[in-house]
């Protein structure tokens, strides 16, 4: 096994680019790349599956030869059901073996369209309908999951679905008795009868063909479906192999979710293309608390060489004891979604002797666009350097997304990027215009993030453009608050957002998740902020200690959820005098609104008609000092 090429800085990346990308990629489709990887050693494990994050359980192991055969069967099954090249197939299930079989089988035959099974039924139905899906493959009725119940709920509203196939988890027997629908059949039974020796059709795929629909966004409206091409994914996998020094003998501690581009490319297609092994610790991945609790023991048992996770996962792993556990085979770890805080990164290096390689990217460029150099300075807090054939620029944009000027070194501006992996657009092309920087060629993606490039080409992401806290005209980067609080030894996770203020427009507040044994109070943390945040205006006016920081479906901190909570707290407090004076009840809730962006709903109770005018007048006066839209829900008239 040859040693991977040294990558220490942007000069090393530039040297790689001397060989044209399409020569480095070797293959003309994702299926060709995966098939080559699986053929290297058919008897070598492709997957180890655990059911509950227990290191003592006997795993279900699937070899590369078995996975290749299952992939051929899935492809033939989909073809026999009428799926042709370009037809999307929705997969709705956690990390069970059939999910990965569906991925491999869809590569030569159809468009892989995984959906977050934790979404609400109406949103799942909306994604399926928007994609134009005719075949749905979902987890059947299984204890601990509500997936099949959601399928039952949405089927009447999806007459366009021609086939609904239910999956039986390994070791279980199920029968979906709750529904009588001729479209419903057993995936496993149908698969058993499909040809596994060779494809019964001639695959028609190439670099520019769409291979996957990945849903993205959804925090302020319906998720957008990004069209991912074979070129985009092959470029991403090729770069990841190079930048991370990936090798055939690696064993990857998986756990990501395939409806996320990072888990699809980095955690799955990347190792499969090299014939490596993926360890799935439970169908729920890191959402199963047993996985975090037993992480180091699992890593030891399976001789794991690589690990990945979001920053909050790494923070939780620091609290898990490692004494007496041998994880010496671990050689690389990576994270995405946000830069690795310096304190956590250094603590992990001390704990396991491995540095975390931070990445940055987005679905619209088919995955990661930067990564910390594995042979160089990780510069914790940054997101590393651009990967080969990626171009990152920091620019000034106007309110319409038009280019104004380039930013100087270390000057914060809008992050824009381009690469061969830029998606051709969304399934709903009406979203395309907002994706790209206007009056700028070639097509550069407007990430929506703010950041800076330092003198050595490292990218420092400072926050979402819309996440800026604007306090009386003073722009506050939430990262200033978050970086300071992350240095506190009792802080596991933190997020800073702005709360509405009648005078300043916004005021900074921080939400903090502490170690379980921590005794520190919010007052202690406020003092700590005053001592460690040099920018006076950035000191949070409130610090809310909560049990856990909310995450999105792909494991990123959900700042929108926290902003809604902060807004709800503000208006709840402002209405206290009214509630006491008129002896009424008012429940405040905040939700995203397609028309107004945000709507505050005030549900009034215990309010007769004689009080209504006074209550209405008081509420109108409160909201006259804000630009926030509101609606009043009155109690039914008696």
Tokens of 536: 């006076």
pLDDT at 540: 95
Q: Buried b vs exposed e over 308-335: b needs ≥16 C-beta within 10 Å?
A: bbbbbbbbbbbeeebeebebeebbbbbb
Q: Per residue in 447-471, pLDDT tens?
A: 988 889 999 999 988 766 767 787 7
Q: How far apart are CA 353 and CA 328, in angstroms?
A: 8
Q: What SS3 state is found at 54? A: coil
The pLDDT score that the predictor gives to residue 463 is 66
* pLDDT for the residue 513: 95
Task: Output the average pLDDT for the chain.
Answer: 89
HSE (side-chain half, CA atoms, 13 Å) at 532: 16
Using an 8 Å Cβ cutoff, are 511 and 497 in contact? yes
pLDDT of 535-583, one tens digit each?
777 899 999 999 999 987 667 788 889 999 999 999 999 999 999 988 9
Note the pLDDT of residue 337: 66
Specify the DSSP element, H or E, that contains 512.
strand 505-514
pLDDT attached to residue 475? 63
Q: Is 50 exceeded by the pLDDT of residue 221? A: no
Q: How confident is residue 13, by pLDDT bands cut at 50, 70 and 90?
A: very high
- Concatenating the DSSP letter of every residue in 347-386 gives HHHHHHS--EEEEEEEGGGTEEEEE--TTS---BTB--EE
Residue 633: asked if its preceding bond is cis (omega within 30°), the reply is no
The whole-number average pLDDT for the span 489-501 is 92
Confidence label for 380 from pLDDT (cuts 50, 70 and 90) = confident
594: confidence class by pLDDT, cuts 50, 70, 90: low
pLDDT in tens, 183-208: 999 999 999 999 988 999 988 788 89
pLDDT surpasses 50 at 638: no
> How much of the chain is in helix, strand and coil states, percent to nearest 5?
35, 25, 40
The rounded percent of the chain whose pLDDT value lies above 90 is: 63
Average pLDDT over residues 523-533: 93
Q: 216: left (phi > 0), else alpha (psi -120 to 50), else beta? A: beta
- How many residues in total does the chain contain? 638
Strand-pairing partners, residue 460, are: 452
**Mean pLDDT of the 525-541 span:** 88
pLDDT at 15: 96
Give tens-digit pLDDT for 320-347.
999 999 999 999 888 876 677 777 888 8
Helix (H) or strand (E) run with residue 129 in it: helix 121-131
Phi, psi of 217 (to 5 degrees): 80, -145
The full set of domains in the chain, from first to last, is 10-15+28-453 (3.40.50.12780), 468-562 (3.30.300.30), 575-633 (3.30.300)
Q: Which residues, in sequence order, are CB contacts of 191 under 8 Å at separation 6+?
A: 70, 73, 74, 77, 101
Up-side HSE of residue 87: CA atoms within 13 Å toward CB?
Answer: 17
Q: Which two tokens stand for residue 129?
A: 């309908």
- The pLDDT tens digits for 285-326 are 888 889 999 999 999 999 999 998 877 788 788 889 999 999
The per-residue pLDDT for 254 is 84
> Distance (Å, rounded) from C-alpha 124 to C-alpha 117?
8
533 vs 99, which has greater pLDDT? 99
Cα–Cα distances in angstroms (integers) from residue 223 to residues 89, 115, 215, 298, in the given order: 17, 10, 6, 35
Query: Cα(535)–Cα(578) distance, rounded to whole angstroms?
Result: 36
Whole-Å CA distances, 573 to 149, 568, 569, 580: 39, 9, 6, 12
State the average pLDDT over residues 236-257. Answer: 89
Q: Does pLDDT of 632 surpass 80?
A: yes
Between CA 549 and CA 555, with CA 553 as vertex, the angle to 5 degrees is 55
Q: Phi/psi at 627 (nearest 5 deg)?
A: -95, 5
Q: What is the pLDDT of residue 40?
A: 96
């Amino acid at each position: 096994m040859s040693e991977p090429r040294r990558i220490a800085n942007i000069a090393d990346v530039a040297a790689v680019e001397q060989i044209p990308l399409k020569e480095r990629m070797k293959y003309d489709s994702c299926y060709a790349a995966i098939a080559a990887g699986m053929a290297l050693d058919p008897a070598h494990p492709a997957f180890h599956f655990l059911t509950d994050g227990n290191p003592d359980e006997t795993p279900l192991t699937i070899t590369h030869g078995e996975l290749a055969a299952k992939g051929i069967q899935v492809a033939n099954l989909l073809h026999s059901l009428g799926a042709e090249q370009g037809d999307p197939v929705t997969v709705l299930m956690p990390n069970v073996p059939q999910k990965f079989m569906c991925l491999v089988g869809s590569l030569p035959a159809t468009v892989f369209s995984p959906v977050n099974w934790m979404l609400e039924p109406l949103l799942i139905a909306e994604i399926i309908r928007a994609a134009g899906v005719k075949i749905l493959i979902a987890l059947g009725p299984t204890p601990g999951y509500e997936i099949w119940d959601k399928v039952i709920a949405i089927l009447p509203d999806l007459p366009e679905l021609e086939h609904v196939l239910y999956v039986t988890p390994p070791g279980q027997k199920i029968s979906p008795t709750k529904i009588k629908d001729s479209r419903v059949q057993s995936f496993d039974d149908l698969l058993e009868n499909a040809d596994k020796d060779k494809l019964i059709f001639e695959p028609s795929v190439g670099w520019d063909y769409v291979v996957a629909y990945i849903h993205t966004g959804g925090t302020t409206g319906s998720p957008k479906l990004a069209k991912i091409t074979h070129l985009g994914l092959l470029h991403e996998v090729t770069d990841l192999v190079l930048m991370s020094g990936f090798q055939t003998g690696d064993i990857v501690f998986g756990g990501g979710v395939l409806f996320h581009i990072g888990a699809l490319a980095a955690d799955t297609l990347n190792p499969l293309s090299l014939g490596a092994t993926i360890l799935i610790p439970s169908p729920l991945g890191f959402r199963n608390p047993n996985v975090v609790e037993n992480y180091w023991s699992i890593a030891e048992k399976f001789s794991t060489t690589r690990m990945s996770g979001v920053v909050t996962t790494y923070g939780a792993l620091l609290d898990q004891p490692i004494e007496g556990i041998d994880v010496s085979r671990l050689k690389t770890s990576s994270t995405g979604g946000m830069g690795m805080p310096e304190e956590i990164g250094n603590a992990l290096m001390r704990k396991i002797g491995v540095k975390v390689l931070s990445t940055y990217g987005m679905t619209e460029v088919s995955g990661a666009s930067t990564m910390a150099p594995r042979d160089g300075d990780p510069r914790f807090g940054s997101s590393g350097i651009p990967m080969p054939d990626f171009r990152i620029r920091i620019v000034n944009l106007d309110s319409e997304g038009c280019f104004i000027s380039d930013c100087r070194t270390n000057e914060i501006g809008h992050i824009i990027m381009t690469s061969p992996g830029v998606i051709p657009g969304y399934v709903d092309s009406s979203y395309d215009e907002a994706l790209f920087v206007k009056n700028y060629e070639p097509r550069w993606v407007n990430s929506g993030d703010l950041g800076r490039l330092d003198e050595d080409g490292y990218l420092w992401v400072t926050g979402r453009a819309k996440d800026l806290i604007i306090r009386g005209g003073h722009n506050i980067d939430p990262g200033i608050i978050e970086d300071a609080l992350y240095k506190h030894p009792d802080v596991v996770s933190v997020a800073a957002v702005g709360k509405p203020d009648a005078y300043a427009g916004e005021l900074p507040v921080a939400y903090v998740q502490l170690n379980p044994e921590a005794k520190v109070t919010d007052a202690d943390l406020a003092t700590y902020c005053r001592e460690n945040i040099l920018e006076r205006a950035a000191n949070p006016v409130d610090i809310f200690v909560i049990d856990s920081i909310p995450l999105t479906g792909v494991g990123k901190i959900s700042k929108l959820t926290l902003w809604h909570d902060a807004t709800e707290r503000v208006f709840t407090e402002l209405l206290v005098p009214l509630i006491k004076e008129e002896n009424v009840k008012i429940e405040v809730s905040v939700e995203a609104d397609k028309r107004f962006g945000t709507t505050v709903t005030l549900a009034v109770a215990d309010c007769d008609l004689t009080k209504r005018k006074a209550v209405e007048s008081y509420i109108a006066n409160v909201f006259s000092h804000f630009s926030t839209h509101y609606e009043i829900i009155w109690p039914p008239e008696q």
